[in-house]
Every structure is written in C-alpha cells, then in structure tokens.
Amino acid sequence: MIVTVHGNRSDERPQFDGIYRRSPRKVSQLNGLDEPRRRDVVLRLLREARPYYPRLAVALVFGVIAGLGPLALSKAFPLVIDGVIGDPRHPIGLLLEVIAGVFAVNLISNLATYGQSYLTAWSGQRLIASLRSRLFERTMRMPMSEFDKWRPGEFVARFTNDLALMTDALSVALPQFFVTLVTLVGAVAAMLYVDWLLSLFLFVFAPIVNFVVAFFTRMISKSTKRSQERIADLSSNLTEVLAGERIVKAFGRESYENERFAASNDAYFGAYMKVLQLGQTQTPIVAMIVTIALLAIMAFSVREVIAGRLTSGQVLQFWTLVVFAINPLNRFAAFVGDISRGLIGASRVFEVLDVPIESDATDSIEPTRVAGALRFENVSFAYKADGPPILRDLSTTIEAGEIVALVGPSGAGKTTIVNLVPRFYEPQSGSISLDGIDLRRLHLGTLRAAIAIVPQEAMLFSGTVAENIRYGRLDATQAEVEAAAREANAEEFVLDLPLGYETPVGDRGMRLSGGQRQRISIARAVLRDPRILILDEATSALDSHSERLIEAALDRLLPGRTTLIIAHRLSTIRRAHTILYVDGGRILEAGTHDELLSRGGAYASLHAAQFAS
C-alpha cells in the first residue's frame, strides 16, 4: 500500500441544494416557448415522425376526403330548393338522386374519418411509445453528475403529464385540426364561387379572429409551462414524502407535510385554473366575433336575394358554407390550445433527451482480466464546477486484493472517493487508474462489471427474492442463486418465507427486515463475483444478530478481492489491511489499526471517542 499523506485539514463540506433543487432549464422556457423554440420543437417532431410518413400520407388523403365530404350537403340545398321545389314539374327523381348522393358522400366521409383518425393516432402513439422508451433509456444512461440536478418528480412529470399532453395533441387534436382545416379551406373556396362579394365581407372579420386566437395561444402556452412546472413540484413532493414516510411519522411531521403538500397543490391548482380560464375566455370571445359576422352576412345575403343576384337555394347554400367555415374557426381555438400544450410537453421531453449520456472514449480498452489494483494520482473533485472542492489533490495506491477501510468524520470525502471508482463522477483534475489503465480509457461496461456495491441501506426492487439476487448476474442459474444466498447467510430466512426464493419482497423490499434486505444485497454481490467490492457502512444500521451473520458472510466474500470499506464499526475496520483516515478531502493518516493507534493522531482520537468501551 502506497499513500500520500497531507497534514493540513479543511472544514469545507459538500454543499447540497436540498430536496427542492431545480432541474436545469433555459431561461427562455420559463414563460413558455418563444417562436424560435416552438419552431425547433415542431421541426424535431417532424424528424422524429419520419418512420411513420407512409401511414401519415395515407391519413392525409383520408383527411382531405373527410374534410370535403360534409360540403356536399351545401350543394344539395340549391338542387332541392331550386331544382325540385322551384321547378313546376317537381322532379322526384332528382330528389332521390340528391338524397342518395348525400348519403353516399357522408358514408365515404365517415369511413375516411375513421381511417384518418386511426392511422394518425397509431402513428402518434408509436412516436410517443418510442419517446417514452428513449426517455427511460436516457435517464438510465445519464451521468450521475447530471442525474443529481433533477428531482425524481421532474422525471415522473415528464413520463406522465408531458407525454399525456403530447398524446392529446398528436392522437386527438392534430387529426381533427387537419380535417377541420380542409373543411374550412373547402368551404371558403365554395363561398367564393357562390358569391365572392359576400365572402370578401366575411373575410374582414378573419384577421380579428386570428389576432384573438394568436393572443390567447401565447398566453395559454406560457400558463401551460407554469402548470407543468407546478405539477412537477407536486410530483416531487409526493415522491419524497412517500419514500420517507417512516421518517415523517417518526418525527411527527404529518401536519407539516400536509401543509407543504397543500401549498404545492394550491400552486398547481392556481396554475391549472389560469390555463382553464384562458381557454374558456377565448371561446366566447371568438364566438361573439363570429356571431357579429353571421348577423352581418345574414343581412347582406337577404339584400342579395331582394336585388335578384342570388336565388333562395344559393343563399341557403352560402349560409350552409358559412356554418361549415365558422364551426372550424370556433374549434381552431381549442385545437391550437391542445397543440400548443403538446409542444410544451414535447419541449420538456426533449429537454431530457438532450442531456448527455455516459460514453466510452473512442480508444477505450477492454482488458480480458481485471486484477483490481487502484491508483489515485492528485485527484481533486467538486460536485459543482463553482462549488467547494470535496477532494483535494488526493493520492493513494491500493494493491489488488487489498482491503482498505476509509474512516473519518462525516463530509470528509469518503463516499466521494468510492463513487469515483465506478465513474459515477469524473474528477476535475488528476487521474484514477485500474491495473495501470486510466479509468477514462477503460470500457465503462468492463469497469462496472468488475465492481459490486453493498450500500448502507440495501436497495431491493419489486420482485421475488431470487430475482433480486439474480440482479447481480442475470444469466445465473437457480443453483447459483441459492449458493450465493448461502454464502451471504441469507438462506437461513429465505427458506422460512412462504414461497421461499419466489417470495415477493414488496416495494423497495419493505416486506423484509433491514438485516434480511442487507443479506440479499450481499448475496447479489456474491453472485456478481466482483474483483472490486465497495461496502458503504453495510452493517452500521443492523441489530447484533444480523451484524454477526453479515460479518461472517463478509469473511467469506472479501478474501482475494480489492475492497473499499466505509465503516465506523471496529470489527469491520480491523478486518482491513490498511486504514485511510480522510478529512477535508485529504488522506491525513494511513496504516494498520495498531499502527495508527500507536501514533496517537487523528485516527486514535476518533477511535477513543467512538470505539472505546
């Protein structure tokens, strides 16, 4: 064991933002999407949708048919009124032809509507399913330095609320928007054909409607952004409190948490009601403008009939076309609002997809065998670029198979040291090597395949006991799983469980005791058969019986493996070949237990204060 020891100490400790740390956001997005950003999101969605272009092309054709189909009804009125009722012969044959034609067109239009809606919804849902999978994969491959910037509720909100906004926009609003747009364009073209003067008069109101819709769209976009942020706050609050329910009850903080959740809930309610208020205000304003336009059109069209420029059938046709044009204008407001909210959701999803992922160097090395020798050379590290350093010019060498205990006060940098070994974080300066290879050049999969971690609080997943042990090596046989459980002294309680190895452990393993969870965690590490083992105070929170069983399991697990132990218990520390006393991000002392006691330094003082009987 070679170690560089520094004599000076530092009182600086890592600084944390607490449970309310905010995710990284662009300032321009806090008040909704500006025009360039909205355009970028739309273009990106179009690129993402390329695999579905063939289906969308067919849906486009169906949408045109569905949008133009209803206009056949307007053509029926002059045929019936002028050609049947107005004709002294009253040709019933023409009436039957008109009825049959309208029915056929309506049937085709409805079938086209179904086809367009289905194909568009299928394409939209496949796109969202793809984004959901990529969102999960991106989260899994996100560097810890990036992951730490996000609250759990931020990810939950993007998987649920933001994708739900995209679902509403792509599967419902967008298909209907296109059909409605085709109907509007077709109705306007037909209106111009019937009477261009009346049509131009109606167009006077169009810019007013456009201005109102655009104004409310901007306001709704901003309010939706704030609403999504508030639901993320609410999700984070809920996630944190549910995970820490025992602590809440232990400290009697139910009322405090109720008040805190109520505040987040009220903030979301206010933000949501603002969105709802804007949407509900937009509709009657647009409807009032349209009503004024209709009344004016009615007066002028009657004047056209009196003047003899239009027949009664043509007037009824024109009014029908006006209705077909006005209805889309009324519905556009809702569609545009839904699509704007969908773009907000897409923007927030892309925000996560754009976070960099862990990657290997282009010339990464994959050694065929890992011995486990570690070397830290002048390593300095801070969790934030502008934050206080946690490690300061730290150097040490750990031989393959050596057991090293890291001791020292809280916040000294012990956990940071072991977190750098699997490259959860990258040092700002200096280097760490494994078997002489810089970790930055080592293939990440190879590095982590050689490492197993047993944390202080065992983390189990929902599933069976066997599935949680097999997490260490997914291709392990049942016999290997059971052998690992025996090595970890876990079989003692597993066989007493109702279903043995197939017993569900519950969410986060809550159906098991702390000692049982920890033994399964150790069995998982045994099954992995790592060359480097990291124990982060693995026995500090256990009862004496569980501790004895785990200590016995560790006696079988540790020999021959490079082991880094963060520990305070004397029995665990004495097992180490070398003890490193860490404080202020530096190694102040190094040696065996007896050597450090004989020196009477910082370790001896710590031992006297914490371990003296």
- Quick: pLDDT tens for 61-77: 998 898 888 887 777 76
Q: What is the pLDDT of residues 568-595, one digit of tens each?
A: 766 667 778 899 999 988 999 999 888 8
**For residue 268, what pLDDT is reported?**
77
**For residue 109, what pLDDT is reported?**
87
- Direct distance between the N- and C-terminal alpha carbons of the chain, in angstroms, rounded to an integer: 30
Q: What is the percent of the chain with per-residue pLDDT over 90, rounded to a whole number?
A: 16
Q: Virtual CA dihedral for 262, 267, 270, 273, nearest 10 degrees?
A: -90
**For residue 378, what pLDDT is reported?**
94
- On the question of pLDDT at 14 being above 50, the answer is no
Statement: 456-529 belongs to CATH 3.50.30.50: no
Whether 399 contacts 3, CB under 8 Å? no
**For residue 193, what pLDDT is reported?**
82
3-state class (DSSP) for residue 183: helix
pTM as predicted: 0.70
Q: What is the pLDDT of residues 375-404, one digit of tens each?
A: 999 999 998 878 889 999 999 999 999 999
**For residue 251, what pLDDT is reported?**
63
**For residue 256, what pLDDT is reported?**
78
In whole angstroms, how far apart are CA 486 and each of 210, 491, 519, 529?
73, 5, 10, 14
In whole angstroms, how far apart are CA 99 and each of 77, 80, 194?
11, 9, 22
pLDDT band (50, 70, 90) for residue 539: low
Using H for helix, E for strand and C for coil, what is the string for 113-177? HHHHHHHHHHHHHHHHHHHHHHHHHHHHCCCHHHHCCCCHHHHHHHHHHHHHHHHHHHHHHHHHH
Asked if the domains 33-353 and 456-529 are classified in one and the same CATH topology, the answer is no
- Residue 459 token pair: 């983390």
- On the question of pLDDT at 18 being above 50, the answer is no
Query: 16 or 417: which carries more pLDDT confidence?
Result: 417
Protein fold of 370-450+532-613? Rossmann fold (3.40.50)
**For residue 247, what pLDDT is reported?**
67
Q: Report CA torsion sign: 291, 297, 300, 306.
A: negative
Residues 102 and 115: their CA atoms lie apart, in Å, by: 20
**For residue 374, what pLDDT is reported?**
94
Mean pLDDT of 310-339: 75
Q: What is the percent of the chain with per-residue pLDDT over 70, rounded to a whole number?
A: 82
- Residue 295 token pair: 């009344």
pLDDT band (50, 70, 90) for residue 26: very low
Looking at 307-316, 365-374, 376-385, which range is the least confident one?
307-316
- On the question of pLDDT at 451 being above 70, the answer is yes
- Non-local (6+) Cβ contacts of 402 within 8 A are 1, 562, 563, 577, 578
Protein fold of 33-353? ABC transporter transmembrane region fold (1.20.1560)
Domain boundaries, the chain: 33-353, 370-450+532-613, 456-529
Mean pLDDT of 100-116: 87
- On the question of pLDDT at 294 being above 80, the answer is no
